[in-house]
Amino acid sequence: MLLAGILAPLTLQTLFAQDNLPVDTIPGLTLADTSWTSEFSAGLNFNQAAFSGNWKSGGINSVAFGSIIAGKANYAKDRMTWDNEMELLFGIVSNEGEGSRKSNDRIFLDSKVGYKMSENWSSYFSLNFLSQFAEGYNYNEDGTKTLISGFLSPGFLTSSIGFEYKPNQEFALRLSPFSPRFTFVTNENLYLTVPENYGVPIGQTVRTEWLALQIYATYDKNITETFNIKSRYQLFANYETLDWDTVDHRLDVTLTAKITNLINVTLTSINLYDIDQDPGIQYSQALALGILYKVSNKR
């Protein structure tokens, strides 16, 4: 079954690419013109609070800063497509007496080459990368901090081959029966504070899971002219350790409300279950008001 899942997309591509098969012989298939579609956005948000020494209601002086850079570059010609997405987030909060701490940190890169088989179905190959920029810490009650993560500690590189269902521009579902994943922990001493070492064997810097399944779904829709919802769900299951508790789930949700052409309110939420990181469900949430500059073009 696994071998069939690997060979099927390659076989279909070979079949449809034969010189004696006209490009318009697949019923219901609308072929794309040669074009690039690109989109870029950059945002900043800033929050500050200050109190006098005799402020009776209490409070802590604080400063918070957040940033986001996101972009898409998609190419289509006849049956071939190439979709690329980038999302970079970083935020810092500084509370009086506590110093500076991260409030957000994410590196997300995704690239997918597809081959249209029908109006809604394509075969595809993709690479997906996920990590963070800076070191992460647990902060202890005595004022000390413990290192728990960093750039490429962990980092995840997932490759997938399979089929994509895309009935419209808002929703896409990828089904990959063969999806090798490489987990990186380049800090060889991280296991001293994170005994699980994110699933990477102690003494090594990479864990390879060759036989795995991935389901990847995205939804990006403008509900109104001023409100957008964007979500991304990833399921990853290793065939060799397949069990209900060992299946990884990650759900990212971003809600954006436009106040003016530049001012936006953004709510982001990340929900994660990965037993190699923690036996419980992890989540983070952030609400920000700031400047978001967005441009797009098609040529």
Phi/psi zone of residue 198: left (φ > 0), alpha (ψ -120 to 50 degrees), beta? Answer: left
3-state secondary structure of 4: helix
Q: Measured between alpha carbons, how far is 155 from 127 in angstroms, rounded to an integer?
A: 13
- CB-CB contact of 203 with 189 (8 Å): no
Q: Determine the Cα–Cα distance for residues 13 and 61; give it in Å rounded to an integer.
A: 60
Structure letter (DSSP) for residue 21: S
> CB-based contacts of 155: which residues, under 8 Å, 6+ apart?
129, 130, 131, 183, 184, 185, 186
Q: Rounded to whole angstroms, how far apart are CA atoms 196 and 208?
A: 16
Q: Give Cα 278 to chain centroid, integer Å.
A: 19
Spatial neighbors of 100 by CB under 8 A, at least 6 apart, are 92, 93, 94
Distance, first Cα to last Cα, the chain: 42
How far, in Å, are 111, 125, 126, 149, 150 from residue 184 at the CA level? 19, 21, 19, 11, 11
In this structure, the chain runs to a length of 299
Distance CA 276, CA 282 (A): 12
Local structure of residue 142 (DSSP, 8 states): T
Report pLDDT for 71: 95
Residue-range domains of the chain with CATH = 2-18+76-298 (2.40.160)
What confidence tens digit (pLDDT) does each residue in 49-58 have?
887 777 777 7
d(CA 225, CA 80): 31
The rounded percent of the chain whose pLDDT value lies above 70 is 88
161-192 pLDDT tens trace: 999 999 999 999 999 999 999 999 999 999 99
Q: Element (H or E) spanning 30, and its range?
A: none
Give CA separation, 133 vs 6, 105, 130, 137, 231, in Å. Answer: 34, 6, 10, 13, 22
Our CA dihedral for 166, 131, 190, 101, rounded to 10 degrees, sits at: -130
Q: Which residues contact 131 (CB under 8 A, 6 or more apart)?
A: 107, 151, 152, 154, 155, 156, 184
Please report how many Cα atoms fall inside a 13 Å half-sphere around the Cα of residue 115, on the Cβ side.
16
Mean pLDDT of the 137-146 span: 90
Q: Tell me, what's the pLDDT at 1?
A: 40
Q: How far apart are CA 115 and CA 9, in angstroms?
A: 9
Mean pLDDT score across all residues of the chain:
88
**Among 8-17, 45-54, 80-89, which is the least confidently predicted range?**
8-17
Given a cut of 50, is residue 22 above it in pLDDT?
Answer: no
- What is the per-residue pLDDT across 224-282, written as a single tens digit (0 to 9) for each? 999 999 999 999 999 999 999 999 999 999 999 999 989 999 999 999 999 999 999 99
Assign 3 a pLDDT band (cuts: 50, 70, 90): very low
83: three-class secondary structure by DSSP = strand
Q: Are the C-beta atoms of 71 and 83 separated by less than 8 Å?
A: no
Arithmetic mean of pLDDT, 30-45: 82
3-state secondary structure of 148: strand
Cα torsion through 138, 142, 143, 148, rounded to 10: -20
Per-residue confidence (pLDDT) for residue 12, from 0 to 100 = 39
